[in-house]
Structure 1
């Protein structure tokens, strides 16, 4: 519990922003669903023959897995809030339309006949008593949709729409239970609160409900209002999940705002490689730090055979420029590449300093994820280049460090700047035969942005060749273990290096 409270205190700034994003996405989706579903239910009541097929179709939409629906929407409407809202509206419509239609159908025909006998037309009957009688059903449908939407909205973080799902994704990525609990508990509490408010409105008069609806719309609109700031150029810098990208983008922000009049909007933990790359192409973000090896292997589809960092960066720089007219600036010194690690006492006992030294120890058990176990620059390369025949146990990446720390495995696949290297007192073995490709981080942006703000090359170039592997490990450790904010860690480094 103490760890959970401490994590929440350290994440307060990001938490309130994520909570606001979550509420905005959820409420927009619910309001749109209400505006679609209730009129549609009224229309179906007039044409009962098509009611059942329409209800069946809207019900089928709910059977589509949410992740699959988001994936289907991305090619058509991109990433961010819009596809998330569209998907949530699709899920929210069915309970509202079904309950509204059912509520209206439950009205006694004798009441309608009596109202008709008194000279009421269809609109008058609807407004004077039909909606009132059906309202408990309608509100129950809205409650169901609201709870479902608030829970499903956590997936919006997968496509860069923000929300409480960011904490869940970051917690999974960092194997941090506290972050996962913050996201999950907050989402659950939010659903309970809104369900309670709607339960209270079930017994209210129609006028009160309509007024509440419009007040909700006004509050939602007001939440997007931002005071007019001083007129400065503004750019958006985003980062992948994890502490390292968060530290880097904060360094970019500090340097840019210190040396220019450009203001920087940060989007940390924005998503994985694919979403950031597509967001950059779509102009939703302006800069993000990318790794040289990722560009050559993932985007250019032609991994270089060279393990010379300068050669790999040059290929990445020219290749991404030709592919998308992107500018890729000079990289930092550290490499967040694959590495093999052992416990430091194990390394001392067996005299291990390099991967070649592992051949001196027999019957070694290694913990690899499935991808690394089958990569040519992973386990297959260890067999070919180093002649190692390890007893491999495949497991999720988040479990590898625990397995190494508990002695379940003696050797583990790691990333060379992970904070767990310091946390668990590990020794990273030197890749003495250069199996693993270079993965150096550098700013990636459109060439058009660099033409608009040419000073960015000079400003961000101050980090070129800076930050060693050990310095990056220390900074990741400060964020992940000591719970310091990435902004503070980034600023401390820049000041220590006299860069700001």
Structure 2
């Protein structure tokens, strides 16, 4: 399942299926952190020493990397950490956190606002969206957000290859109507099936930016196919995910969402309220890491796995060490 469909299709998983998944994945145990780390700028926190935290994640590249970042941060702080990354399905991962099978998960503000809390209208301002999510998740679900990364926003976007960007002279979504009017033969779109019909997908983009592409110019493809089709010019405009490593590796140009249509998907660390009250120090452990994350960093991290085939745990630990958060035992 792709990152986008995993995150967006939560409503398709029934309560019964969630129960089967959580019971059948061994979610009550977890395994040891895959690689050792020692303190760096993240120092041992006395209140966390000896405390055990199980870290969960969803089952796509970025989420698995984020899960390991949280694990290494907690390990450096002196906590005992169990790894329960790569849980199949976003609903199952969220259910595991709420039920106490996991204790920490990196989450997206848009996922919580729309998918978990059932809101249909996103809040364009990232700070306001986070505060609304934080308040609602706490009141409705007992889920506490320890902080957020405003520099990271893993949302929808449209991209095109560099040649098309130069030839058409466009940099933002509001330029698309001009392309349709002046170069109708080049106004081709590649999107996923779900994106083609969702209100927060192509229909909403069309309404917000005032254009209507020729239906014959809109192709529905799988996620991976869209990136390559955009790069080779099969379609001019490809629907992408803003932190996907293939954007950088294929040298795609992402158009600015200048009317702020797409929901914000800023990354934050989540836990249960009772656990954060017991260990308020979790916020000081995670926030420096969140502050260092941005879309460019995430694209590089994701590309290390999706493009170059590296192991997510290695990628996450190397980044934590490069940033000075942790040190690697035996490495000088």
TM exceeds 0.5?
yes
3-state DSSP of counterpart to 1:253? helix
Deviation of 1:460 after TM superposition, in Å, equals 0.9
Instruction: Tell me the distance in 2 between the aligned counterparts of 1:328 and 1:253.
Output: 17
Check conservation: 1:79, 1:279, Cα contact below 8 A: no
1:306 paired residue among 117, 123, 126: 123
Q: Which runs of 5+ in 2 are unaligned?
A: 1-12, 31-48, 327-332
3-state DSSP of counterpart to 1:275? helix
Deviation of 1:278 after TM superposition, in Å, equals 1.1
Q: Residues 232, 276 of structure 1: CA spacing in aligned structure 2 closer, same or farther, 3 A cutoff?
A: same
1:284: which partner in 2?
Answer: 101
Instruction: Tell me the distance in 2 between the aligned counterparts of 1:296 and 1:265.
Output: 28
Q: Which runs of 5+ in 1 are unaligned?
A: 1-69, 85-155, 163-230
1:468: which partner in 2?
Answer: 294
5 Å-filtered alignment, 1:140-151, equals: none
1:401: which partner in 2?
Answer: 227
1:117: which partner in 2?
Answer: none
1:109: which partner in 2?
Answer: none
Check conservation: 1:243, 1:476, Cα contact below 8 A: yes
1:486: which partner in 2?
Answer: 312
5 Å-filtered alignment, 1:48-447, equals: 73-74=16-17, 79-80=21-22, 82=23, 84=24, 232-259=50-77, 261-332=78-149, 333-361=151-179, 362-363=183-184, 364-390=187-213, 391-447=217-273
**Count of paired positions:** 287
2:323: which partner in 1?
Answer: 497
3-state DSSP of counterpart to 1:317? helix
Check conservation: 2:110, 2:122, Cα contact below 8 A: no
Q: Residues 370, 161 of structure 1: CA spacing in aligned structure 2 closer, same or farther, 3 A cutoff?
A: farther
Structure (1 or 2) with the greater helix fraction: 1
Instruction: Tell me the distance in 1 between the aligned counterparts of 2:196 and 2:15.
Output: 30
Deviation of 1:78 after TM superposition, in Å, equals 5.4
Instruction: Tell me the distance in 1 between the aligned counterparts of 2:196 and 2:211.
Output: 13
3-state DSSP of counterpart to 1:284? coil
3-state DSSP of counterpart to 2:198? coil
Q: Residues 303, 329 of structure 1: CA spacing in aligned structure 2 closer, same or farther, 3 A cutoff?
A: farther
Q: Residues 305, 485 of structure 1: CA spacing in aligned structure 2 closer, same or farther, 3 A cutoff?
A: closer
Q: Residues 73, 468 of structure 1: CA spacing in aligned structure 2 closer, same or farther, 3 A cutoff?
A: closer
Check conservation: 1:337, 1:436, Cα contact below 8 A: yes
Instruction: Tell me the distance in 1 between the aligned counterparts of 2:156 and 2:29.
Output: 30
3-state DSSP of counterpart to 1:237? strand
3-state DSSP of counterpart to 1:408? coil
- Residue deviations 1:66-112, cap 9 Å, x none? xxxx968547x5543x4x4xxxxxxxxxxxxxxxxxxxxxxxxxxxx
Q: Residues 291, 160 of structure 1: CA spacing in aligned structure 2 closer, same or farther, 3 A cutoff?
A: farther
Is the radius of gyration larger for structure 1 or structure 2? 1
Instruction: Tell me the distance in 2 between the aligned counterparts of 1:319 and 1:369.
Output: 30
Structure (1 or 2) with the greater strand fraction: 2
Which of structures 1 and 2 has the larger relative contact order (alpha carbons within 8 angstroms, sep 6+)?
2
Instruction: Tell me the distance in 2 between the aligned counterparts of 1:161 and 1:450.
Output: 21
Instruction: Tell me the distance in 1 between the aligned counterparts of 2:147 and 2:29.
Output: 30
3-state DSSP of counterpart to 1:372? coil
Aligned pair 1:455/2:281, yes or no? yes
CA-atom RMSD, angstroms? 2.4
Check conservation: 1:374, 1:380, Cα contact below 8 A: yes
Check conservation: 2:114, 2:122, Cα contact below 8 A: no
Q: Residues 348, 161 of structure 1: CA spacing in aligned structure 2 closer, same or farther, 3 A cutoff?
A: farther
Check conservation: 1:337, 1:437, Cα contact below 8 A: yes
Instruction: Tell me the distance in 2 between the aligned counterparts of 1:320 and 1:382.
Output: 28
Q: Residues 399, 247 of structure 1: CA spacing in aligned structure 2 closer, same or farther, 3 A cutoff?
A: same
Check conservation: 1:304, 1:312, Cα contact below 8 A: no
- Residue deviations 1:34-87, cap 9 Å, x none? xxxxxxxxxxxxxxxxxxxxxxxxxxxxxxxxxxxx968547x5543x4x4xxx
